[in-house]
Amino acid sequence: MNISAILHSKVFTKFTICAFFLTLGAFPVKVFSQEAKAEKFDAGKTAMEHIADKHEWHLFGEKVVVPLPIILYTDKGFEFFLSGSFNPEGAVYKGKYYNYSLVHDRVKVVDQAGKVDDAATKKVWDFSITQNIAGMWLSGLVLIFVFLSASSGYKKRGGKAPKGLQSFVEPIILFIRDDVARPNIGLKYERFMPLLLTVFFFILINNFFGMIPFFPGGYNLTGNIAVTFTLAFIIFLVINLNANKYYWKHIFSPNPWWLFPIMIPVEIVGIFSKPIALMIRLFANMLAGHIVIISLISLIFIFNTLWIAPVSVVFAVFIDVIEVLVVFLQAYVFTILSALFIGMAVEEHHEPHTEVI
């Protein structure tokens, strides 16, 4: 085999791409390790900082960041400025009404000397476009693009074979319809398809963007309890607003009357525990994945030697691959459990069980 054949072989191309990304991955470590020498490395603190929401978006490494707008509602009016005003770290920004500074990625009101004024901080509402919100908008734009191009495909080539992005989303949509919605909800599944598809793709794409360590990703949206709470709250509303009389009868009139005092509280807890379980499951799964990966990378800095790096990189890649599975699985599990709970609420009782194909 001569050299040009090797250069043009598929294996070589794949190898080069892999090598490129591996070297890319080495850079942040280098920047990181120089800082680690200055102060003692705290793995727990690093992990917590890594998973928390931030006011700036790191492109790669520690130095290249995108400043994000900060919107504050104070008792005197709105304030708008960019988070770049807080650079270098700990700098005080002079606003129209107060002076501000970032303390642990939270905007605090400070006096001239930089001391935090807690009483004034309580009066300020932070509506900033943080990293999570910017990331959510970005993923929303991606979703809009993907689905508009898919739907225009159906308009243009109605009844013909799908093409491009259309053929990427079509099997997934069919999967949600045939394997998630129809068996679990039953005959009325069509009303809930838009909700289930939105929830599935929203969770899926944000999980995926969370897996990318640099710019388009790097945020941790589905590992944020506020986001998963909102998703679960929507599901809670949908379940209870669509519930039929059999659902409520099941809750408020258990069969033997003397079970009332036990069963009614249990069933009422059951109404709330279903969406709470959805919320905690997604949140804790994504959070745990991020923490495990950052902890494995942190091993290098805990032992403070480069020789541990191969071990921790191999383990991190291994966990990363499992995480890709978890990303799909959690989006799927959230959707299928939502469908199951909605199906429990809308299902008609006492009629011959019809098997839906």
Partner 1 sequence: MTSQYGPMGAGLAAIGAGIGIGQIGGKAVEAIARQPEAISKIQTNMIIAAALVEGVALFAVVVALL
* Part in contact with partner 1 (CB under 8 A); list of ranges 104-112, 117-125, 214-222, 333-341: 333-341
Examine residue 284 and tell whether it contacts partner 1 (CB under 8 A). Answer: yes
| Minimum CB distance to partner 1, residue 281 (Å) | 5
Whole-angstrom distance, CA of residue 99 vs CA of residue 111: 6
Among residues 3 and 325, whose Cβ is nearest to partner 1?
A: 325
Whole-angstrom distance, CA of residue 74 vs CA of residue 90: 21
Look at residues 61, 83, 50, 19 and name the one whose alpha carbon lies nearest to residue 215: 61
Break the chain down into helix, strand, coil percent, rounded to 5.
65, 10, 25
Compute φ and ψ for 332, nearest 5 degrees: -65, -45
Mask 111-150, x = binds partner 1 (CB under 8 A)? ----------------------------------------
Among residues 133 and 280, whose Cβ is nearest to partner 1?
A: 280
Given the structure tokens 């669509």, which residue do they identify?
A: 242
Look at residues 28, 3, 346 and name the one whose alpha carbon lies nearest to residue 189: 346
Interacting residues with partner 1 between 260 and 279 (CB under 8 A): 277
Interacting residues with partner 1 between 143 and 182 (CB under 8 A): 179
Examine residue 332 and tell whether it contacts partner 1 (CB under 8 A). Answer: yes
Examine residue 344 and tell whether it contacts partner 1 (CB under 8 A). Answer: no
Q: Within 10 A of 335 (CB to CB), how many other CB atoms are there?
A: 24
Examine residue 285 and tell whether it contacts partner 1 (CB under 8 A). Answer: yes
Among 337, 342, 345, 346, interactor with partner 1 by CB under 8 A: 337
- Which two three-digit tokens encode residue 88? 């270098």
Mask 62-91, x = binds partner 1 (CB under 8 A)? ------------------------------
Examine residue 50 and tell whether it contacts partner 1 (CB under 8 A). Answer: no
Among 280, 299, 302, 308, interactor with partner 1 by CB under 8 A: 280
Interacting residues with partner 1 between 14 and 43 (CB under 8 A): none
| Minimum CB distance to partner 1, residue 330 (Å) | 9
- Are 344 and 251 in contact by the 8 Å Cβ rule? The answer is no
Look at residues 210, 211, 203, 204 and name the one whose alpha carbon lies nearest to residue 228: 203
Among residues 284 and 356, whose Cβ is nearest to partner 1?
A: 284
Which are the contacts of 350, defined by CB distance < 8 A and separation ≥ 6? none
DSSP string, 203-250: HHHHHHHHH--STT----STT-HHHHHHHHHHHHHHHHHH--HHHHHH
Interacting residues with partner 1 between 312 and 331 (CB under 8 A): 329
- Interface positions with partner 1 (CB under 8 A): 179, 183, 277, 280-281, 283-285, 288, 329, 332-333, 336-337, 340
